[in-house]
Amino acid sequence: MDVHNVEMVMSAVSPSQYPTDGRAEFALVGRSNVGKSSLTNTLINRKNFARTSGQPGKTQTLNFYDVEGQLYFVDVPGYGYAKVSKKKRESFGQMIETYISSRKQLRGVISLVDARHKPSEEDIMMYNWLAYYNIPVLLVATKADKIVRGKLNQSESIIKKAVDFDDENSDFQFFSSVTKSGKDEVWQWIEDRL
Ligand code: GTP
Ligand code: MG
């Protein structure tokens, strides 16, 4: 999709604040700092539309981005950030769970992991939880620019093995917001589900 118009329409903490026009939605999930906002910006050809930062835990609400009046990207708060209070983490968890488990418009979830590391317990839990709800998942291994080409296959195997990757319900893609590699493939995955 060639994107020209994007608008942040809502910062929601509860279902009553979600958009009501029924358009398809795609959520981005992953631990804090993994690169969700950067992926959003790359997909919509903007430098810093979704706020990115070296400071993890910046995104604290479900942020709905209206893309070309056709679909929404939903930037979700990152999990696993220790400095966010336990209470806040629990309320994030519940907000995300409510959204993902009950949202009819949700056509797929882009689940981000860091290509350089073995997925964390929380990454694994998230992936399996999405599978439990039968939600189509694109598992994106981001920051792929930090890995030498010769190690990509190995990284893919480690990640897939750790999450017990299910080919039937999910796809895998390397991505880099620095080189933009994987951008077309991620868009294709989204468009296939519109
Ligand atoms: P929260 O909103 O805190 O959950 O973080 P986030 O997942 O939205 O991460 P964000 O996009 O803000 O990126 C975090 C940091 O990682 C920033 O410093 C980005 O510049 C960097 N980063 C994101 N994607 C990439 C990538 O593909 N390659 C490299 N080298 N750095 C990246
Ligand atoms: Mg973010």
**Which residue, by CA, sits nearest to atom 31 of ligand 1?**
143
Q: Is residue 44 part of a domain?
A: yes
**Bridge partners of 120?**
none
- Higher pLDDT, residue 146 or 46: 146
Q: Taking each helix axis as running N to C, give the angle between helix 152-163 and helix 121-132, from 0 to 180 degrees, rounded to the nearest 10.
A: 60
For residue 143 and ligand 1, the question of a CB distance below 6 A is answered with yes
Q: Which atom of ligand 1 is nearest to the CA of 77?
A: 4
Dihedral-angle region of residue 144 (phi above 0 means left; psi in -120 to 50 means alpha; beta otherwise) = alpha
Q: Is residue 90 part of a domain?
A: yes
| Residue 180 DSSP SS3 | coil
Q: Which spans in the chain are helix H?
A: 36-43, 86-102, 121-132, 152-163, 183-191
ipTM of this complex > 0.90?
A: yes
Quick one: which ligand is closest to 53's CA?
1
Name residues whose C-beta falls within 8 Å of residue 166's C-beta, 6 or more positions apart in sequence: 131
For residue 80 and ligand 1, the question of a CB distance below 6 A is answered with no
Sign, CA torsion 157/184/166/124: positive
**CA-derived radius of gyration, the chain:** 15
Instruction: Look at the block and give the residue holding tokens 């694109």.
Output: 138
Q: Is residue 75 part of a domain?
A: yes
- pLDDT at position 49 is 74
Q: Is residue 1 part of a domain?
A: no
- pLDDT at position 81 is 61
For residue 61 and ligand 1, the question of a CB distance below 6 A is answered with no
Q: Which atom of ligand 1 is nearest to the CA of 51?
A: 12
- pLDDT at position 52 is 66
| Residue 44 DSSP SS3 | coil
For residue 37 and ligand 1, the question of a CB distance below 6 A is answered with yes
Query: In which domain, by residue range, is 155 found?
Result: 6-191
Work out the mean pLDDT of the chain and round it to a whole number: 89
Gap from CA of 35 to ligand 1 centroid (Å): 3
Question: Residue 42 corresponds to which amino acid?
Answer: T
The count of structural domains within the chain is 1
Gap from CA of 55 to ligand 2 centroid (Å): 9
**Which residue, by CA, sits nearest to atom 22 of ligand 1?**
35
For residue 176 and ligand 1, the question of a CB distance below 6 A is answered with yes
Q: What is the pTM of this model?
A: 0.92
- pLDDT at position 3 is 81
| Residue 167 DSSP SS3 | coil
Gap from CA of 177 to ligand 1 centroid (Å): 8
Q: Is residue 141 part of a domain?
A: yes
Whether the pLDDT of residue 82 is over 60: the answer is no
**Which residue, by CA, sits nearest to atom 30 of ligand 1?**
143
Give the residue among 127, 142, 137 at the shortest CA–CA distance from 170.
Answer: 137
- Higher pLDDT, residue 138 or 61: 138
Give the residue among 111, 122, 117 at the shortest CA–CA distance from 171.
Answer: 111
Q: Is residue 134 part of a domain?
A: yes
- pLDDT at position 80 is 64
d(CA 117, CA 115): 6
- pLDDT at position 181 is 97
The CATH number of the domain where 84 resides is what? 3.40.50.300
Q: Is residue 69 part of a domain?
A: yes
For residue 59 and ligand 1, the question of a CB distance below 6 A is answered with yes
